[in-house]
Amino acid sequence: MGEIAGKFAGLILDMDGVLYRGERALPGARELFPALRANGISFILLTNNATLTSEEFSAKLSRMGISVPPDAILTSAGATAIYMSEHYPEGGGVTVIGSTSLLATVTGMPGFRPEGWQPDFVVVGLDLKFNYDALQRACSAIRRGAHFIATNADATLPVEGGEQWPGAGSIVAAVKTCAGVAPIVIGKPERHMADMALELLELSAEQVLCVGDRLETDILLGARAGIPTALLLTGVASREDVAGAEAAPDYIFEDLAALMSALGIS
């Protein structure tokens, strides 16, 4: 009870497997954010899912009774757009393998525009309609010198029923194999998203707790960025998985209720 009360001024929270599973809120998710606000703990939600915009994720959460504004949600698509704007301020043409939301997010930044045949950038995310033609065009563009940027490298995508479907990383791997060029990867566990989250929270790494259900993304992200981490056992990883992980969590909690109790906000 209250073992980490008063220790953290902010939280970085994963979404799927922490706040909800599929279209169902997990126990404690609706109560978490009012409690954080009441106790002056800031938060930001990070997700590797680039198929929806922050506004669409906010609406999805709202349908579950969870109130989080879009500006408190950073997707790998949003992080990719920020990265491109900061590192390539001159902009350019962009070919996107991914959702319409990813295309809108990236080309919504000043100076960037859709470009089908001779792009300056090839951005790859999860594309449920990925085909050979898209692979060929992406590889040819990268070989001609286009920058290759991946929203994330998640090989698989957990779906309801316990199955694992091909994730964005599987498509990224196909493009990498064909083009012979490694991408810049933006999403977790790369540090880009952690650094952006800390900047948005206006807090230092030691003031923040990074909470997630996946050892290879959420927990490794925190470890690489020097952010304390907490594993929730409501999603992918189990206690038994920790021994073989590249980075072990600083804390392990059964669920959101246990996390809130440890923070002293339940």
| 141: helix, strand or coil | helix
| Residue 14 falls in the annotated catalytic set | yes
Query: Which residue from 76, 86, 87 is spatially nearest to 125, judged by alpha carbons?
Result: 76
Using CB atoms within 10 Å of the CB of residue 105, give its burial: 0 to 12 exposed, 13 to 18 middle, 19+ buried: buried
Query: Among residues 16, 120, 154, 213, which one is catalytic?
Result: 16
Task: Kindly report the length of the chain.
Answer: 266
Considering 14, 120, 213, 218, which one is annotated as catalytic? 14
Q: If residue 212 lies in a helix (H) or strand (E), which one and from where to where?
A: strand 208-212
**Residue 179 vs residues 122, 124, 127, 144, 176: alpha-carbon distances, Å:** 11, 13, 18, 10, 5
Work out whether the CA dihedral 180, 184, 185, 191 comes out positive or negative.
Answer: positive
Integer Cα distance of 264 and 5 in angstroms: 5
Please say whether the beta carbons of 183 and 144 come within 8 A: no
Strands (E), 24-91: 24-25, 42-47, 73-75
Question: What is the rounded distance in angstroms from the CA atom of residue 81 to the CA atom of residue 107?
Answer: 8
Q: Establish whether 213 is a catalytic residue.
A: no
- Active site residue ranges: 14, 16
